[in-house]
A and B are shown apart, each in its own frame.
Chain A
Amino acid sequence: MSVGSSSIRIDAHAKTTGEAQYPGDRAPAHALAARVVFTDQPHARLLRLDVAKAEQMPGVIAVFTGRDVPVNEYGLTEFDQPVFVSIEHTGRTKVESDISRWEADHLALVVADTDEQATAAAAMIEADWAQLPIVADIDQALAPNASLVHPELKLDSNIYHTYKIRKGSIDAAWADAAVIIETTYELPYQEHAYLQPEAAVSYIDEEGRVTLEVAGQWAHEDQEQIAHALDLPVDQVRVIYPAIGGAFGGREDMSLQIVLGLAALRLAERGEHRPIASRWSREESIVGHHKRHRGRIHAKWGADSNGKLVAVQSEAWLDAGAYNYTTNKVLGNCHLGQAGPYEVPNAQIDSHAVYTNSVPGGAFRGFGGPQAAFAAESQMNKLAEALGIDPVEIRLRNAVHDGSIGITQTVMPAGVTMLQVIERCASESQFHQPLTPAEPFSPFASLPPVEGDLLRGRGFACSFKNVGFSFGFPERCEATIVLHGKPDSPTAERGELFHAGADVGQGAHTAFLQMAAEATGLAFENMTGGFSDTSSSGDSGSASASRLTFMSGNSILGAAEAADKAWRNGDRPAVGHFRYVPPPTEALDPETGAGAPNFSYGYVAQTVELTVDRATGHIVVDRVVSTHDVGRAINPANVIGQIEGAVVQAHGYALSERLQVENGRVLNPRFSTYLIPGIGDVPTRIESVVLELADPNGPWGARGMAEMPFMTYAPAVVAALHDATGVWFDSFPLTPDRVTAVLAQAAAPSSSGR
């Protein structure tokens, strides 16, 4: 059996020895060097741009600006961003290209013989700007008479997208509530902090295609965006992903793809055929790509005396930053999550996307779900406290199950296992046993235990996350399997799988080959792969939305069946191609939010135990029990790796990662001041509990699981901190200075925690 075994990853050897080639390793010695010049202007109109001096600098091959771009616009979901901020334009864009709306908008690309020469020339570019009012955050964006970030949209405010839910009648329902909890939650940014900063190599390949070797999450979507801006037929653009050093949603949008593609196209027209390479520094990466959205959620929940929810009223604002990226989609997911995985008879939910001149918000593991889950799970924990009901029990009384009507007034997709996951998490973590006393702690061994200052607490949270694209967005995934062997043999000797799905470090390609081996009956060792090249594979959709195993597995099952049929027809080699299309989803009704937005969910519950030093505010998470229904663990070791990785990433989100953005500028684009957890900071114990309750549509029953461990961690930590201190924290990260300040405020007479 290949499926269900922890096969050693096919990339393990190369990555361990350092032989694996990431985009930054792909530049040949003779490659030209390119540097992207950011505008460094959060909001300003370009008055004059002069690159003449830069062009005269030693070694400079070319300086590309907006005048060189055939269609000077791009965007994953909307074309709302210029490739280069430019006065000159071809008149083919709807966005005003002469305005910089973000400090990391691109102004030019300098290509030279060496990186040093390109850097020196970049400093010689002259630009004059007329400053425009900077809309720094949600408050400024929503203020009366606020400056508009995108006046060309002719909207009357910076809110440019709103989802609604109207279910039942909340006004009548409040009367049935024994307890009402109302809170405003502030949600922070998060930086992806993938190990490999943005890098790419571009050239014209042997078939004349503009070719990019780059790290991304959806090769065919990159290909489309590059082709759009360069005004080329899609098949004249080729995208190849070599090894990818992490993504987490942060590589869904363009970085170097279009500008390096443009350079390859334009230089080839001049007879210059050397490849062009570029890589961003860590600072450029943090300043230059989108973040998990910061936002605000105001929630009012009511429950009856038995703890049954009677009404949920919620309003959310996500800071989209200067451009949409995937904000409208992230917002939709945040929208659905605000009522939690619960049966809610009456609901009124409004969710807004807000333009500002800050760094764009976009995809990041959980895709709007973690922000919503923080509010929803904190609300549920507060209701439990107010009613004197156990936090596990109140969830069991409210959680969705098979046949439940979801918040969008349609029946949940079959295979709802929230109750089983909650129960299993509670039992595995001994949630109802007394906590042991605080032990002397510290990863910083210089801190001795101090009696009385160390407090322990335990918290619980549960959640769900959709698998696959939502709201009717076209969903598909293609696979090709080629079987080789003797003409007279009833079985093949070996097989090849061609698949575009991105292995961003999560082990996807290993799982693909395990599933292909299982589906064809071949041994894992006899199945090889050709991956992530638009010239050899069909569209797989993205490595995102916890969808890739689900979607690729179904595409592989279809391709194997087709290949087997070809084999039995005598084809040698036997080729099978399949395009899997999952059950359809629907866009929500604009006024009521009614509709069936998703076809599958994964379910999670977590128990967190922590110790807090109330004098310094330092928190050590002692134990996390992360419980998941993954449907079927294709590769159990990699499933546990995903759980542990997500918990550690969420630990940074909850406790230490504070991106400081003021007046449109990131102040701490370095890991010395933007603090991701190190090995001495992560939870002392992470226990992964994996349930395999099959999804009816999943390949071998598999559900997605990559985002789910992230969803519940921050609210579970906050619940544990409340258990320890008696104080609720409605904003995070729980940095030690915040913890001490909130505890001091709560201890002061006539005040409440915040």
Chain B
Amino acid sequence: MIPAAFEYVRAGSAEEAIGLIGEHGEDAKFLAGGHSLLPLMKLRLAQPTVLVDIGRVTDLSYIRDGGDHIAIGALTRHMDIENSQLLRADVPLLAHAASHVGDPQVRHRGTIGGSLAHADPASDLPATTLALGATYVAQGPNGTRQIAAGDFYQGFLTSSLEPDEMLTEIRVPKMNGAGWSFQKFNRRAQDWAIVGVAAWRRNGDSGVALVNMGSTPVLASSVSTALAGGASIEDAAQQAAAEADPQADLNASIEYRTHLAKVLVKRALTEASN
């Protein structure tokens, strides 16, 4: 439970961080809150040779009104998202989901950018931002680009970020009064979700995404399609796992995860419709 040896450098700005990553090549990793990467390093499932600490790039910690969206700096901590009046008013689903990440210690240290860039399908915020149709902003040596959340997640712990790119901002569309629900089922309080569901619904539109139902966060498009076509919540929820590819692990079987997805999607849609 002790990581392999690594070199540690600290960046003062996004530009400096990107420069340092470019300098050290593919074996370097950004270190933000350290609540995803460090556990992997302790288990030696990740062995970066250089850590570029971006934890003090404080100008990337912000929550701003961007007109039709809320812009969130990548180094904003979960606790700040949970307590943001702006997010509670305009993107309440995200603020609420952030309040269910890990435990208070995790939420005081972990950052939204770190959680998304880590691309763990069992994390709460990747699926939540996916359901909300968020756009991520990445900065590299040649400037910035925008990546739709739906294009970001490529595989287990794999995103479309280039090795020398850094996630700098998350733009989440305002929900404009949509009903919403976040359902997280775990076997032990404060643990990872066995299955989670983030959902919103407004008139004929909806967004439903699943936590821990595949190698990436999963957008349950079939559910939204069914609802748009006039299906009942009960019937739409039966499509919950249509896009999913759940894995069995020591905590749950494929069958149980699939069952849970249907139960939780039904509950989420019911709550979002009230």
Contacts and interface: CB of A to CB of B under 8 A. Distances in A.
B253 A448 contact: no
Contact of A443 (B183, B189, B249, B260): B189
B187 A447 contact: no
Interface stretch (A148-156, A381-389, A627-635, A677-685): A677-685
Nearest to B184: A446
Contact of A450 (B182, B256, B267): B267
Contacts of B185: 444, 447, 616, 618, 736
A447 B189 contact: no
A663 interface: no
Contact of A735 (B187, B191, B249, B271): B187
A270 B96 CA distance: 65
Interface string B176-192: 00000111111111110
A232 interface: no
Most chain-B Cβ atoms within 10 A of its Cβ — which of A444, A667, A673, A681? A444
A281 B44 CA distance: 15
Nearest to B187: A675
A127 interface: no
B88 interface: no
A656 interface: yes
A39 B44 CA distance: 23
B100 interface: yes
Given A673-B250, A740-B256, A678 B188 contact: yes
Contact of B188 (A446, A450, A675): A675
A615 B100 CA distance: 21
Contacts of A444: 100, 184-186, 189
B183 A447 contact: yes
Most chain-A Cβ atoms within 10 A of its Cβ — which of B183, B187, B259, B260? B187
A678 B250 contact: no
A446 B189 contact: no
Interface in B238-253: 249-253
Contact of B190 (A667, A680, A735, A740): A680
Given A681-B189, A737-B256, A448 B250 contact: no
A660 interface: yes
Contact of B263 (A445, A616, A668, A677): A616
B138 to A, nearest CB: 30
A455 to B, nearest CB: 15
Interface in B174-225: 181-191, 194
Given A447-B183, A668-B250, A678 B100 contact: no
B267 A448 contact: yes
Contacts of B191: 675, 678
B62 to A, nearest CB: 26
B250 A660 contact: yes
Contacts of B181: 448
Contacts of A741: 256
Contacts of B250: 660, 667-668, 673
A623 to B, nearest CB: 18
Most chain-A Cβ atoms within 10 A of its Cβ — which of B181, B263, B264? B263
B238 to A, nearest CB: 14
Contacts of B194: 736
A616 B268 CA distance: 14
A678 B1 contact: no
A740 B259 contact: yes
Interface in A660-695: 660, 667-668, 673, 675, 677-681
Nearest to A281: B1
B250 to A, nearest CB: 4
A733 to B, nearest CB: 10
Interface string A435-446: 000000001111
Interface residues on B, range: 20 to 34
Main secondary structure of the interface of A (DSSP, over half): loop
A680 B263 contact: no
B187 A446 contact: no
Contacts of B253: 737
B252 A681 contact: no
Nearest to B257: A737
A615 B267 CA distance: 10
Contact of A678 (B184, B189, B271): B189
Contacts of B188: 656, 675, 677-678, 680-681
Nearest to A735: B187
B184 A447 contact: yes
Interface string A407-451: 000000000000000000000000000000000000111111010
A737 B1 contact: no
A279 to B, nearest CB: 12
A450 B260 CA distance: 14
Contacts of A673: 249-251
Given A448-B271, A673-B251, A737-B256, A656 B100 contact: no
B190 A678 contact: yes
Interface in A688-735: 735
Contacts of B271: 448
Contacts of B263: 615-616
Contacts of A447: 183-185, 267
Interface in B257-274: 259-260, 263-264, 267, 271
Given A656-B188, A668-B250, A446 B183 contact: yes
Contacts of A737: 252-253, 256
Contact of B187 (A445, A615, A656): A656
Contacts of A736: 185, 187, 194, 256
A450 B256 CA distance: 19
Contacts of A735: 187
Nearest to A671: B188
Nearest to B251: A673
Interface string B1-33: 100000000000000000000000000000000
A675 B253 CA distance: 16
Contacts of B186: 444
A445 B99 CA distance: 10
Given A281-B1, A668-B250, A673-B250, A616 B260 contact: yes
Contacts of B259: 740
Interface in A448-478: 448, 450
Nearest to B124: A446
A202 B255 CA distance: 51
Interface string A366-404: 000000000000000000000000000000000000000
Contacts of A677: 188
Contacts of A656: 187-188
B182 A446 contact: yes
Contacts of A681: 188-189
Contacts of A678: 188-191
Given A281-B1, A673-B251, A680 B189 contact: yes
A445 B263 CA distance: 17
B177 to A, nearest CB: 20
A673 B264 CA distance: 22
Most chain-A Cβ atoms within 10 A of its Cβ — which of B194, B249, B252, B267? B267
B181 to A, nearest CB: 8
Nearest to A652: B188
Given A446-B182, A447-B185, 18 more contacts: A444-B184, A445-B100, A446-B100, A446-B183, A448-B267, A616-B185, A656-B187, A656-B188, A660-B250, A667-B250, A668-B250, A673-B251, A675-B187, A675-B191, A680-B190, A681-B188, A735-B187, A737-B253
22 contacts: A444-B100, A444-B186, A445-B100, A446-B96, A448-B181, A448-B267, A448-B271, A615-B263, A616-B263, A616-B264, A656-B187, A660-B250, A673-B249, A673-B250, A677-B188, A678-B188, A679-B189, A681-B189, A736-B187, A737-B256, A740-B256, A740-B259
A-B pairs with the 3 shortest C-beta distances? A680-B189, A737-B256, A673-B250
Interface of A: 281, 443-448, 450, 615-616, 618, 656, 660, 667-668, 673, 675, 677-681, 735-737, 740-741
